[in-house]
Chains A and B, each alone.
Chain A
Amino acid sequence: MLAQVLATVIFLAMFILIVTEIWERHVITLACALLTLILVFGVGMHSLPAIIETVNIHSIFTQGFWITTGESSGHSSGINWETIVFIFGMMVMVEGMAHTGFFRWLCMKIAKLVNYKVSSIFLTFMILSAFLAMFIDSITVILFLAAVTIELSQLLKFNPVPLILAEIFCANLGGSATMCGDPPNIIIGTSFGYSFTDFITNTGIIAGISLIFTIVYFYFVFHKQLEKVGTDVDPSTFPTPESAITNKTKFIFSTIIFLCAIILLVTHAQTGLTVSFIGTVIAIVTLIASGKDAITLIKKVDYKTLLFFIGLFVVVGGLEQTGILEILAGLIGKMSGGNVMLMIAIIIWISAICSAFIDNIPFAATMIPVISSLAATHGIDLSVLSWTLAMGTDIGGSATPIGASANVVGIATAAKSGHIIKWGRYCKIMAPATIIVIFISMITIYLRYF
């Protein structure tokens, strides 16, 4: 009982401190992780095995961490090192690509291909945002897309806010399509042993259907503003896409590495290579290809986010080991009265609403043992609950300016150039889009799996 109370108090304190931003979030999760290890596992449970299982270092030295044979073996307890190693690898690769000017080149190239027509840029940037976010973290996608959008808006004299809002939404939507698109998906995938193909054939299809509705929605919301844009600008004076490339050889290498990473991810169920193996390989190859810049890339990796994940996994491990999450799962089961369709509705809408206001990563990490327990006790297909959780957490974050990191980056980038996006304006556009996509996701899950 004492351990349960301590685990809950530490978890709630962590959430509140993250929201208040009194300290950086990695400091908060690491401090709470330390408290969990000492108070929950030490004082409350007197259990060394619980500490060993939660810290989970031993998993790195198993064969299954690098290569799976036959059925993939997932785990959902303690620090998910597979997620940490994979995200590290992707961070190195993305830094390498950004360093060579890949993202700016791609955005400028597409704008040029559509002859700098604003309505076409609007459409293509939405698709580009969704596509890139399938493989790269949405923060990086928006960081570059929003910056280029603002640059183009100054050249073409249009308001960049509609484009940035649409790009943010599509980045979050694209992230839901794959296993590596959004951190909750990586955690879900590595916890339950799902492959890239599993995601693309389930959440990917839902995201694809939703993207069509999203494009139509944003077109209807913004088409009047886009039509007003004048076309009396001479594009020959604009910077060429090639001017974005800082080093042509390294640019080619980073593009090849990116394409190889996609191939490795798409085929990892067939090859048996785990995402931690893929992450390690692409990091090593990127560092070798970057030559002298390798040290710069290593320094640029967002270690704070990795530490945030480590601390978070330990705190959630505290809840799991003390049985709190089983109680939560029991509550959801009771609320739904064993009705699976109602359970799906509860999970997707609660995930979406919570993710709209709090970080979706800790939420997803907390919910993983919950859905695992629900599936076991009610005899439900775990994968269906997983796709439900993934869609709810990935899409829900779009509804408010603080719901997802991509929103924060997009709004801040626009604001830095003087285009302030207020809460009211943001939610008026994005909340209905979020509700539409969550609704589409729920209906698709009902039609496909029941």
Chain B
Amino acid sequence: MEKQMIISIGREYGSGGHEIAERISKKYNLPIYDHNFLDELCQKKNLDKNLLAEFDEAKINKLFSRTVKGLNNSPAYNVANLQFEFLKDLAEEGKSFIVVGRCSEYVLRNYDALFSVFIYSNPKARAERLSKKLHITEKEATNMMYLKDAKRKKYHDAHSPIRWGKPKGYDLCIDSSSLGIDKTLDLLCSYIDIKYC
């Protein structure tokens, strides 16, 4: 039986984290969970995907929600927990997979098969990359970057006691602008080979 591989990739917007995740997925033939996450979850539980997607990686609005006996009625909180349970079920079933974001490095921290990495990059490199990819100006890219990162941070920090991107929460943190996407990928693959082989 093959060794279980769970790879959690946290990423700054524009750092190339998603591209790296896709390339690792291809190389090791592992399913990847990111935006498609809810499709499988909703199909499995016969739920309304559009409704749940509205609250995917969304922040919890404390003013419009309350907690009673440990139960919170915020849609964002509950959608996140549904995803966390789904991830734990996959891990419990012994499946190998890659998950992008979704606080997965914290949710799956108790599984030995987990390798968690946070990919960041300097703001200039990210803005340049986004500008080319999305055909927007660097200023627009920078604004977009800060908004997306703020959203991800809020989502992450609402569910994890360890702050988003803090080295303590991950096995590895890497600056993709230092080596470039290809070399960063090579380095991560080496790590994966050592850990799982």
Contacts and interface: CB of A to CB of B under 8 A. Distances in A.
A139, A418, A423: which has the most chain B beta carbons within 10 Å? A418
Nearest to A422: B75
A108 B79 CA distance: 28
A408 B71 contact: yes
A139 B68 contact: yes
Interface residues of A, number: 24
B72 interface: yes
Contacts, number: 67
Interface stretch (B58-66, B138-146, B147-155, B171-179): B58-66
B67 interface: yes
B64 A401 contact: yes
B185 interface: no
Interface in B40-85: 41-42, 45, 47-48, 51-52, 55, 62-69, 71-73, 75, 78-79, 81-82
B58 to A, nearest CB: 11
A415 B47 contact: no
A331 interface: no
B65 A420 contact: no
B9 to A, nearest CB: 25
A418 B86 CA distance: 12
A418 B67 contact: no
A412 B75 contact: no
Interface string A398-423: 00011001011101110111111111
Contacts of A423: 64
A20 interface: yes
Contact of B73 (A20, A139, A407, A417): A407
B154 to A, nearest CB: 15
A341 interface: no
Contacts of B67: 21, 408
Interface residues of B, number: 24
Contacts of A417: 45
A34 interface: no
B55 A420 contact: yes
Contacts of A9: none
Contacts of A416: 71, 78, 81-82
A302 interface: yes
Nearest to A22: B62
A420 B72 contact: no
A132 to B, nearest CB: 17
Contact of A419 (B41, B47, B63, B66): B47
Interface string B103-144: 000000000000000000000000000000000000000000
Contacts of A19: 63
Contacts of B52: 418, 420
Contacts of B51: 420, 422
B85 to A, nearest CB: 9
Contacts of A413: 71
A421 B78 CA distance: 10
B64 A402 contact: yes
Nearest to B61: A423
Nearest to B42: A418
Nearest to B55: A420
Contact of B71 (A20, A302, A409, A418): A409
B62 A20 contact: yes
B65, B78, B79, B82: which has the most chain A beta carbons within 10 Å? B78
Contact of A21 (B66, B75, B78, B79): B66
A107 to B, nearest CB: 18
Interface in A181-228: none
A90 B1 CA distance: 55
A415 B73 contact: yes
Contacts of A422: 51, 75
A409 B79 CA distance: 16
B69 A420 contact: no
Given A420-B52, A420-B55, A420-B79, A412 B71 contact: yes
A113 to B, nearest CB: 28
12 contacts: A20-B63, A143-B69, A402-B73, A408-B68, A408-B71, A408-B73, A412-B73, A412-B78, A418-B42, A420-B55, A420-B79, A421-B75
Given A409-B68, A411-B73, A420-B48, 13 more contacts: A20-B62, A21-B62, A21-B67, A408-B65, A409-B73, A415-B75, A416-B78, A416-B81, A417-B45, A419-B47, A420-B78, A420-B79, A421-B75
